[in-house]
Amino acid sequence: MFQFLKGDKVLWGILALLAIFSFLPIFSASSNLVYVVGRGTPWGYLLKHFVILVIGFILMYSVHKIPFHYFKGISILMLPVAIVLLIYTASQGTVIDGANASRWVKIPLIGLSFQTSTLAAVVLMVFTATHLSKPDLKSIKFSKSLIQLWLPVFSVVLLIFPSNLSTAALLFAMVIILAFIAHYPLRYLMTICGTGLTFVLLFFLFVKAFPGTFPNRIDTWVSRIENFRSGQSDDGNYQVARAKTAIVSGKVFGLGAGKSRMKNFLPQSSSDFIYAIIVEEFGLVGGIGLILLYLLLLFRIVVITHNTSNLFGKLMVIGMGIPIIFQAFINIGVALQVLPVTGQNLPMISSGGTSAWMTCIAMGIILSVSVKREISAEIQGKEGISSNPISIFSESH
C-alpha cells in the first residue's frame, strides 16, 4: 500500500489514526441528534461520517499526486470563483434569531450544504504563498502589492467576517504570519494591520450606532466574550458548563467508549464540543493522547517546512498546516473554557463534510510538497552514488 502513498509516511499515519479514532466519538455523540433532536439513527450518522472520510482521503490522495508548483496557477484561477461563492453565500440573507447565519450554500442536485468560507480559506492561503514567493517582493511598491495581494485578501476576509468572526480572524492572522515569514516590508505590514483593526472598530461602532441596519453577529460575539469573562453558566455559557461536567466525569481513564452521559445534554456534541465527549469516555489519558497526536502533526509540518528548499513550498506548508493546528487547539480551548465559544470543529474528528474535505485537501497539498522533497533526496542519492568511484567499483564486482 505504501508504494502508492508518496510523501511523508509519518504524516499519512497520523491522519489515518485521527480518522480511525474519530468513528468512536462520532458514533457515541450522534445519539444526541437521534434521541434528543429526533433525526436519523446512530448507524446512519456513522455511515455518513465514513463516506465523508473516504471521499476526503480520495481527495487527499488525488491532490498529493499533483506537483506542488501547479497550485500557483490553480489558486489564481480559483480565487475569483471563491469570491463569487462568498458573495452568493452572503446574499442569501440567512438569519437566525436576528444574527447573520449565511455560511452555507445548498447543492440542489444532491441536497447537501457546502461551507464556502473553508474553500476560500484554502485558496487564499495558496494565493498568498504564490504572491509572497516572488523574488522581487522586498523591492515591490506598496501600491502594486495593495492591488495584487491585499485587495483579494481583504475581499475574502470581509465577506467571511459578518457571519464567521473566528474564521475571518484566523485567516487574516495567517496571511500576516506568512507575510512576516516571507520578509514582506515591515512598514507595509504594520499599515495593513492598522487598516484591518480600524475597519473592525468602525464596523462595531456602526452596528452599535445603527442597530438593525443589516443582520450581524455583534451581539452574539459580545455576549460570548462577556460570558467567558464572567464564567457564569447562564444561557450563553451553558454549553461550556455541560462540557466541563463531561470532562470532570471522565477522570483519568474515562467511562468507556460509548458510555458518555452528557452527550444527551450537550448541544453540538458531535462537532464543536466533541472533545468534551472524548475526555468523558476516554478520560485524561485519551484527552492528552489526542493533544499529543496534534502536536506530532505540528512537528511533521515543521519538519516538512524545514526540509523544503523552495520558498513557495515552505509558505504553502505553513499556510495549510498551521491553521489546522490552531483550529484543533481552539476547539479544545473552548471545551476547557480557556477560550470563548467560537464554533471551530476538531479537525479530522468532528462531524461535518466541508471542513473534513478542506482539511484533507490542505493535507494533500502538504504531502505534495513532501513528495517533491522525497524525489529531490532520491536524485541527490543517485548522483552521490554515481560520482563515487569506490561505489561504482564495488557494484561492478
Q: What would the mean pLDDT of 172-200 be, rounded to a whole number? A: 91
- HEC secondary structure over 190-229: HHHHHHHHHHHHHHHHHHHHCCCCCCCCHHHHHHHHHHHH
Q: What angle do CA 86, 88, 90 make, to 5 degrees?
A: 70
Domain-located, residue 320: yes
pLDDT band at 385; cut points 50, 70, 90: very low
**Tens-digit pLDDT profile for residues 272-305:** 889 999 999 999 999 999 999 999 999 999 999 9
Domain-located, residue 2: no
Residue 288: the pLDDT is 95
DSSP code at position 235: T
Q: What angle do CA 20, 24, 29 make, to 5 degrees?
A: 135
Residue 260: the pLDDT is 85
At residue 28, does pLDDT exceed 60?
yes
Domain-located, residue 385: no
Q: Where are the alpha helices (DSSP H) in the chain?
A: 9-29, 31, 42-64, 71-91, 116-132, 142-145, 151-160, 165-181, 186-209, 218-230, 238-250, 274-307, 311-335, 353-386, 389-396
Residue 113: the pLDDT is 72
Cα separation of 232 and 219, whole Å? 17
End-to-end alpha carbon distance in the chain: 34
At residue 31, does pLDDT exceed 60?
yes
Residue 391: the pLDDT is 42
At residue 63, does pLDDT exceed 90?
yes
Domain-located, residue 122: yes
Nearest to residue 140, comparing CAs of 108, 187, 203? 187
Residue 379: the pLDDT is 52
At residue 331, does pLDDT exceed 70?
yes
Cα separation of 118 and 265, whole Å? 29
pLDDT band at 138; cut points 50, 70, 90: confident
272 close to 344: Cβ distance less than 8 angstroms: yes
Residue 324: the pLDDT is 94
pLDDT band at 120; cut points 50, 70, 90: very high
What is the chain's length? 397
Residue 235: the pLDDT is 47
Domain-located, residue 346: yes
Q: Which element (helix H / strand E) includes 96?
A: strand 95-96
Residue 214: the pLDDT is 59
- Report the mean per-residue pLDDT for the chain: 83
Cα separation of 289 and 299, whole Å? 15
DSSP string computed for 288-299:
HHHHHHHHHHHH
Domain-located, residue 387: no
At residue 392, does pLDDT exceed 60?
no
Nearest to residue 132, comparing CAs of 116, 160, 153, 111? 153
At residue 397, does pLDDT exceed 50?
no
The residue that leads in pLDDT, 126 or 244, is 126
Cα separation of 184 and 196, whole Å? 17
Q: What are phi and psi of 271, to 5 degrees?
A: -135, -85
The residue that leads in pLDDT, 358 or 389, is 358
Nearest to residue 206, comparing CAs of 197, 222, 196, 218? 218
Residue 41: the pLDDT is 78
At residue 147, does pLDDT exceed 50?
yes
**Tens-digit pLDDT profile for residues 75-92:** 999 999 999 999 988 887
Domain of 188, in residue numbers: 9-371
Domain-located, residue 75: yes
**Tens-digit pLDDT profile for residues 89-113:** 888 755 444 444 567 777 665 556 7
Domain-located, residue 3: no
Question: Looking at the 3D structure of the chain, how many domains does it have?
Answer: 1
Residue 111: the pLDDT is 56
Tell me which of 124-138, 254-268, 359-373 is least confident.
254-268
Whose cell is 561505489? That residue is 391
Within 8 A by CB and 6+ apart from 258, the residues are 24, 27, 28, 281
